[in-house]
Amino acid sequence: MLIIIDKKIPREANEKLSAYGTLMELETEGIVYPAISGHPDIFFCQTPQTLVVSPSLPENILQKIEQLCGKGKK
């Protein structure tokens, strides 16, 4: 399972979450204001069928998700 987390998450939370799946730290710059730039809920919405992704998500992050989850599972 892929778990997308804010890069600023506390170390203890990071360690606990890593027991449940693969962590991917999210950090963006210049898209939204800095306080929420790493919040996954700003860029993603998970539905039972798919992952809805913001069109403003940087391409390198989308590519990393595809590598971790497999192509076509966007």
CA distance 42 to 20: 22
Q: Are 23 and 9 in contact (CB under 8 A)?
A: no
What does the pLDDT look like over 24-62, one tens digit per residue? 999 999 999 999 999 999 999 999 998 899 999 999 999
What pLDDT is recorded for position 63? 92
| pLDDT value for 74 | 43
pLDDT at 73 over 80: no
Contact status, residue 20 vs residue 3, Cβ threshold 8 Å = yes
Joined tokens for residue 6: 């804010």
Domain boundaries, the chain: 2-69
